[in-house]
Amino acid sequence: MIAESQEMASCMHQLLFGIALLSMTVVLILSTLKYAKPGFEFWPPPHPTSWQSRVFRTLFRVFFVALIALSIVAFDHSQSLWRYLVGAFLLLIGFGFALRWTNFLGWGNAFGDSDGLKTEGVYRFSRNPIYMITLIGMVGWALLINSWMVTTLLGLWACLYIAAPLLEEPWMKKHYGDAFVAYISRAPRYGSLRQIAEHLLAILELKIPPLVIIIVSAAVMYVCAVSIPHDTFMPSELRIALASVAAIVAAAVVITALATFRRHQTTMNPLNPDNTTALVTTGIYAYTRNPMYLSMLVALLGWGFFLGQLSVVVGLVLYVAAITRLQIVPEERILQHKFADTYTNYLNSSHRWFGLRH
């Protein structure tokens, strides 16, 4: 009975795999046939009501339904927890944003209509953001299901999405002319990770409390220490002593900075530097423009001594990079605008982290 059940399940897997494989293979062949037969059109279709449009929609829907059904019956219930977590996260991120951006683009445009050229929003950074973000969702899908059949089908789907921009661009030039040519010069085909990263970082400026950044950095240091263990580089007694000294120094720096702020009666909220009423340049601020963030770095250094693993440097670098880009740089920009030449002079005679006046 069990053997019959397993045989039926195997047949179901093969049937669904075969249906999806055949559908996607036909789509890929018809889509690339234009290169072997000039003048042939399939994708993008010449018209929304053409046979090409109807055939593409039908084949793709058959593929998608068969892929979902296969994913359900082939789901691996014995896999590691990390595959569930990472796979589900990437799947939701990829297909969630794909749906959102498809709504922005318009479902007609997504299936070959010419309802207007979109160049704003996420389309500033990539001419094909839906395809790119869906690839991330596909990786999550493959991790979550953990089936070679599903992974193979997702790979074929990914091939279609990677090739689609090359198939669509001649059609886009034909329908949108100079507007599309100008758009090509501004936005990369598959997206610029640098532009996207800079945009996301700009959004996050002054949005993440520094305390969150230090907690995340400390967690990264711990994970690195546990994941890449080796013999500690100094005796435990010395590590604990150095960690204690670092904690005392960090506390002293914080207390001194807070006392200086109170004397000048200005804001201590790092998320609202616009509310600053006075530029503090005396006391500890004569040696560092960012004593609060310096104290956090010293505290993290003490945490690193306590962990006793060289790999914790990753967390320290993460902290310095994150606090500099998300907090210090925008603060400096706001204070420069607010205090003009006074702040410029302070910048020229002080250090971002630590040092004596010039």
The CATH number assigned to the domain holding 62 equals 1.20.120.1630
Average pLDDT of span 199-216 = 88
Shared-domain flag, residues 188 and 267:
no
173 within 8 A of 37, measured Cβ to Cβ: no
Domain total of the chain: 2
Shared-domain flag, residues 199 and 214:
no
Q: From 204, 235, 269, give the residue that closes a domain.
A: 204
Confidence of residue 358 (pLDDT cuts 50, 70, 90): very low
Q: Where are the alpha helices (DSSP H) in the chain?
A: 2-36, 51-73, 81-105, 107-110, 129-145, 148-186, 193-204, 210-227, 236-264, 291-307, 313-323, 329-348
Q: Which two tokens stand for residue 92?
A: 């939701």
Task: Render pLDDT for 16-41 as a digit per residue (tens, 0 to 9).
Answer: 999 999 999 999 999 988 888 888 88
On whether the pTM is more than 0.85, the answer is: no
Confidence of residue 112 (pLDDT cuts 50, 70, 90): low
Task: Render pLDDT for 148-174 as a digit per residue (tens, 0 to 9).
Answer: 999 999 999 999 999 999 988 988 898
Euclidean distance between CA atoms 340 and 103, whole angstroms: 45
Does residue 125 form part of some domain? Answer: yes
Shared-domain flag, residues 103 and 128:
yes
332 within 8 A of 270, measured Cβ to Cβ: no
Does residue 358 form part of some domain? Answer: no
Shared-domain flag, residues 18 and 73:
yes
CB atoms closer than 10 angstroms to residue 103: 10
Does residue 188 form part of some domain? Answer: yes
Q: From 153, 170, 204, give the residue that closes a domain.
A: 204
Does residue 339 form part of some domain? Answer: yes
67 within 8 A of 158, measured Cβ to Cβ: no
pLDDT score recorded for residue 125: 86
pLDDT at 175 over 80: yes
pLDDT at 58 over 70: yes
Q: From 171, 204, 237, give the residue that closes a domain.
A: 204
Distance between start and end Cα atoms, the chain = 85
Does residue 321 form part of some domain? Answer: yes
The DSSP 8-state label assigned to residue 328 in this structure reads I
pLDDT score recorded for residue 114: 65
Shared-domain flag, residues 84 and 169:
yes
pLDDT at 202 over 80: yes
pLDDT at 15 over 90: yes
Shared-domain flag, residues 226 and 317:
yes
Shared-domain flag, residues 140 and 243:
no
What mean pLDDT value characterizes the chain? 87
| Per-range mean pLDDT, top range of 6-15, 172-181, 310-319 | 310-319
pLDDT score recorded for residue 120: 87
AA letter at 346: Y
Task: Render pLDDT for 272-294 as a digit per residue (tens, 0 to 9).
Answer: 666 677 788 888 888 888 999 99
| Per-range mean pLDDT, top range of 106-115, 205-214, 340-349 | 205-214
326 within 8 A of 206, measured Cβ to Cβ: yes
Confidence of residue 303 (pLDDT cuts 50, 70, 90): very high
Does residue 267 form part of some domain? Answer: yes
Domain that holds residue 293: 210-348
Average pLDDT of span 241-250 = 95
Shared-domain flag, residues 279 and 315:
yes
Shared-domain flag, residues 197 and 250:
no
Q: Which residue has the tokens 């993290």?
A: 300
Shared-domain flag, residues 220 and 300:
yes
Euclidean distance between CA atoms 214 and 163, whole angstroms: 42
Does residue 104 form part of some domain? Answer: yes
Question: Helices 148-186 and 129-145 sit at what angle, rounded to 10 degrees?
Answer: 160
pLDDT score recorded for residue 54: 92
pLDDT score recorded for residue 7: 76
Does residue 357 form part of some domain? Answer: no
Shared-domain flag, residues 184 and 216:
no
Quote the Cα angle for 119-166-192, to 5°. Answer: 50
Average pLDDT of span 203-228 = 91
Shared-domain flag, residues 183 and 238:
no
3-state SS, residue 295: helix
Which has the higher per-residue pLDDT, 62 or 76? Answer: 62
pLDDT score recorded for residue 35: 83
Euclidean distance between CA atoms 88 and 117, whole angstroms: 33
